[in-house]
């Protein structure tokens, strides 16, 4: 790419009489014109990432930075009287829900920055996840029309490459939109838009439509098959045009990475094409597929592993249903010939009862299966896919997640990045391991870092004031829990912990308490009633605490509305303490924990997911760990009774009783339902996620961190040690591992 050429194009853009939208489009088009200028070489083997969500965030600043002209562009347009910061109003393309989509975005960024050939496939949703606002503390969902104001100048419609996707009742046209990903080279994210009829267009209308009805389930199946079939169909067609039907060499050129189970219909479509269209035997097609596919598991939650009712698949995808049935029989015969025990065959079966197990399809077909944190992979091998691991141990390996340091440090924390430049030179920008060269004992460096943290907190406070109308407490500890709202992530436990602190402050039991602000950000899925009730509960607590003059100068709670990537870019650099408090064994990895670490927040959390590796990297004394460990939970559940726990601990009883004792209004009965979930048989047991079991230790950990913060030099050292030990959690490292251990691809440059 020619940086000088792009700079000249930017200088040629006039601002006279133009709206911000017009300038946004012209600047974007200037950047897009450089796509064809990337240095390329032919690569025999490419990796293709199949993901139902991509949470890219705003592309404007990230692309200018990737092209090496961000600061120059700011200067060019400032001289013309236009502030590029006006583009902070550009809507995020919220085509993802959380960590899964954000990880996909990070991996595309890192692969391109390093020069690896990785292209993404997904869906171009007409509306993103949803826009969130609160009304009387309750979440209200509004359609996220992300294209309405600013359009999408970063994507190019490729109508000439449209492909038909066939269902039993209709044929849908999948029209690709290509988004370039800039770096050392240019890779592509190809998102398919469904066209052809009003019914067809529903397929790419909304991300994750509610699937609590049969029609909703059918729409989810259509979505998953739609983008998988379109991607596989195009790649197979392209291969046949060049190589004919010599499919034995297909895996030499293609690696298909399934980002969780949403894309597993790609396996069935690949087998269907090779057998029904190109005439290969089923055994030969399976052998080729087993050299082509790879599978990343992101969760152990049963509801996220996806088992589709055979009857529904047969209704709209009869050929695919037949392929899956064939794979079930084929794999069963293979296991039988190998002497596999019957109970293990049942665990690994493609058909379990009346359902297709998409995870079992992925595990059987994929050459490699990876978890996303050391503890998560261990759980996959010993529990979730235990039978498969015993039969095929060579398939399994771990690649701990990572986040891109470009967006999550260089872009969102320019002050900290400039500090590193001054102390270490620029080498850290291409190899984060260089940060370990910083002397975290140096008084001047600690003071400079602490000042940067104060600046970022001030910027965050100003942003929240402008967005929420809430003035944050000055000189307070900023504690944040921002992530998707789910019971296992235990935002409810944080709510109870705040009440612990609130009642103690009211009674004068915490005379040395450092003023603290709790910041929440989360969206609850539209049909997830209990999660939405937790949002209401936290907002009720915020009203109680913030309105109480006896405590509101020392304790404050704010739940920001419509948390997204852009909000995260403000919250993460301005946070002192990162709350990562999932029940041990439930969070596969997490990526928010890594972003906070990279920006110098200490982790206060459980030994779950990548928290374990974060603590190993930065040291136990520089973080705050509490709660039951993975190896303890099964034993705990044998004797744990939440009724007894509350009876023994009056402080615990007091905070839990606020759900039912009239402290908060509960016209809809949501709080009573939360209370019931803690004491009645929910999922497999009362208090399934051990909220009340871990809560007292959680409150103690919060108070330890609060006390330590009083010595701000010591606390700043803990934070800086976290930041400078974060290299392992760069997605650059993760992509290098995928490239070498899983994909076997070479750099283009």
**Which residue is it, tokens 């979505």?**
223
- Annotation says 483 is catalytic: yes
Please identify which of the residues 404, 514, 516, 591 carries the catalytic annotation: 591
Q: Is the dihedral of CA 197, 144, 412, 619 positive or negative?
A: negative
Residue 745: C-alpha distances to residues 19, 355, 487 (Å)? 45, 35, 39
- The DSSP code for 127 is B
Pull the structure tokens for residue 446. Answer: 């600690």
The reply to whether 489 belongs to the active site is: yes
CA separation for the pair 558, 546 (Å, rounded): 9
Both structure tokens of 410: 């260089």
Determine which one of 58, 131, 262, 298 is catalytic: 298
Rounded-to-integer distance, Cα 725 and Cα 510, Å: 33
Q: Where are the alpha helices (DSSP H) in 293-369?
A: 302-305, 310-316, 318-337, 342-348, 358-365
Structure tokens at 693: 């079991």
Which of 711, 420, 718, 464 is CA-nearest to residue 574?
A: 464
Question: Can you tell me the distance from the alpha carbon of 555 to that of 247, in angstroms, rounded to the nearest whole number?
Answer: 64
Which whole-number Å values give the CA distances from 128 to 125, 137, 206, 215, in the listed order? 6, 23, 6, 20
244 C-beta neighbours (distance < 10 Å), count: 9
Stated as kind and residue range, the H or E segment containing 267 is: helix 265-272
7: its two tokens:
């700079």
Question: Which is the catalytic residue, given 272, 406, 595, 718?
Answer: 595
CB hemisphere CA count around 126 (13 angstroms): 14
Q: Assess whether 591 carries a catalytic annotation.
A: yes
Count of beta carbons in the 10 Å neighbourhood of residue 273 = 20
CA–CA separation, 62 vs 182, rounded Å? 9
The answer to whether 49 and 107 have CB atoms below 8 angstroms apart is yes
Contact between residue 690 and residue 683 where contact means Cβ atoms under 8 Å apart: no
**Cα–Cα distance measured from residue 585 to residue 136, given in angstroms and rounded to the nearest whole number:** 35
Could you report how far apart the first and last alpha carbons of the chain are, in Å?
13
R_g over Cα of the chain:
26
Bridge partners, residue 356, by sequence: 308, 351
Rounded CA separation 561/267 (Å): 39
Q: How many residues does the chain have?
A: 749
In angstroms, the CA 177 to CA 156 distance is: 5
Helix, strand, or coil (residue 379)? helix
Give yes or no: 157 in active site: no
CB contact at 8 A, 264 and 358: yes
Residue 703 to residue 706: CA distance in whole angstroms: 5
Taking the CA atoms of 53, 58, 61 and 63 in sequence, report the sign of the dihedral they define. positive
What's the token pair of residue 269?
Answer: 């479509």
Handedness of CA 660, 665, 671, 673 (dihedral sign): positive
| Crossing angle of helices 265-272 and 282-292, rounded to 10° | 140
Q: Is 400 assigned a catalytic role? A: no
Catalytic residue among 126, 407, 484, 532: 484
Q: Which of 220, 222, 406, 489 is catalytic?
A: 489
CA nearest 50: which of 230, 294, 263?
263
> So which residues are the catalytic ones?
298, 483-484, 489, 591, 595
């Amino acid at each position: 790419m020619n940086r000088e050429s792009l700079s000249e194009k930017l200088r040629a853009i006039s601002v006279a009489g133009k709206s911000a939208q017009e300038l946004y489009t012209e600047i974007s088009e200037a950047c897009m014109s450089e796509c064809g200028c990337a240095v390329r070489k032919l690569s025999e083997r490419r990796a293709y990432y199949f993901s139902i969500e991509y949470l890219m965030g705003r592309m404007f600043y990230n692309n200018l930075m990737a092209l090496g002209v961000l600061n120059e562009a700011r200067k060019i347009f400032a001289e013309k009287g236009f502030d590029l910061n006006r583009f902070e109003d550009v809507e995020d393309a919220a085509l993802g829900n959380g960590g899964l989509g954000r990880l996909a975005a990070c991996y595309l960024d890192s692969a391109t920055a390093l020069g690896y050939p990785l292209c993404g496939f997904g869906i171009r949703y007409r509306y993103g996840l949803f826009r969130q606002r609160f009304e009387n503390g309750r979440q209200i969902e509004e359609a996220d029309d992300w294209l309405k104001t600013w359009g999408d100048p970063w994507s190019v419609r490729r109508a000439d490459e449209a492909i038909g996707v066939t269902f039993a009742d209709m044929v849908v046209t999948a029209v690709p939109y290509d988004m370039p990903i800039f770096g050392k080279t240019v890779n592509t994210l190809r998102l398919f838009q469904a066209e052809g009829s009003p019914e067809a267009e529903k397929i790419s209308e909304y991300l994750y439509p509610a699937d609590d009805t049969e029609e909703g389930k059918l729409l989810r199946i259509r979505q998953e098959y739609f983008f998988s079939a379109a991607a596989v169909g195009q790649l197979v067609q392209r291969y046949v045009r060049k190589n004919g039907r010599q499919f034995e060499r297909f895996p030499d050129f293609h690696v298909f990475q399934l980002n969780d189970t949403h894309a597993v219909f790609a396996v069935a479509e690949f087998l269907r094409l090779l057998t029904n269209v190109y005439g290969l035997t089923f055994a030969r097609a399976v052998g080729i597929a087993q050299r082509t596919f790879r599978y990343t598991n992101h969760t152990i939650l049963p509801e996220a592993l996806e088992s589709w009712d055979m009857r529904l698949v047969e209704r709209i995808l009869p050929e695919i249903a037949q392929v899956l049935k064939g794979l079930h029989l084929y794999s069963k015969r293979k296991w039988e010939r190998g002497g596999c025990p019957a109970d293990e065959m049942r665990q690994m079966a493609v058909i379990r009862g009346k359902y297709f197990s998409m995870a079992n399809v992925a595990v059987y077909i994929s050459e490699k299966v990876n978890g996303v944190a050391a503890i998560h992979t261990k759980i996959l091998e010993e529990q979730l896919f235990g039978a498969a691991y015993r039969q095929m141990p060579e398939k399994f390996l771990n690649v701990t997640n990572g986040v891109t340091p470009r967006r999550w440090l260089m872009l969102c924390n320019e002050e900290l990045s400039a500090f590193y430049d001054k102390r270490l030179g620029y080498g850290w920008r291409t190899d984060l391991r260089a940060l370990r060269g910083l002397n975290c004992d140096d008084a001047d460096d600690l003071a400079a870092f602490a000042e940067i943290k104060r600046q970022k907190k001030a910027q965050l406070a100003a942003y929240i004031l402008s967005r929420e109308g809430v003035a944050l407490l000055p000189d307070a500890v900023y504690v944040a829990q921002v992530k998707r709202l789910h019971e296992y992530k235990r935002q409810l436990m944080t709510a109870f912990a705040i009440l612990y602190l609130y009642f103690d402050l009211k009674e004068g039991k915490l005379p040395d308490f450092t003023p603290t602000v709790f910041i929440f950000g989360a969206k609850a899925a539209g049909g997830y009633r209990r999660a939405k009730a937790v949002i209401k509960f936290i907002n009720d607590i915020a009203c109680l605490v913030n309105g109480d003059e006896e405590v509101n100068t020392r304790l404050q709670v704010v739940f920001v509305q419509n948390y997204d990537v852009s909000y995260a870019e403000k919250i993460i650099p301005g946070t002192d303490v990162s709350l990562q408090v999932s029940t041990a064994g439930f969070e596969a990895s997490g990526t928010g924990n890594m972003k906070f670490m990279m920006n110098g927040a200490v982790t206060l959390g459980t030994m779950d997911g990548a928290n374990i590796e974060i603590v190993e990297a930065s040291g136990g004394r520089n973080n705050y760990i509490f709660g039951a460990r993975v190896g303890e939970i099964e034993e705990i559940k044998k004797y744990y009774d939440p009724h007894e726990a509350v009876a023994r601990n009056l402080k615990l009883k007091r905070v839990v009783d606020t759900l039912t004792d009239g402290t908060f209004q509960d016209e809809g009965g949501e709080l009573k339902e939360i209370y019931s979930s803690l004491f009645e048989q929910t999922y497999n047991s009362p208090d399934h996620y051990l909220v009340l079991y871990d809560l007292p230790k959680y409150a103690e950990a919060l108070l330890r961190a609060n006390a330590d913060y009083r010595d701000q030099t010591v606390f700043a050292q803990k934070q800086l040690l976290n930041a400078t030990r974060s290299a392992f959690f760069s997605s650059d490292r993760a992509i290098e591992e995928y490239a070498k251990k899983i994909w076997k691809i070479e750099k283009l440059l």
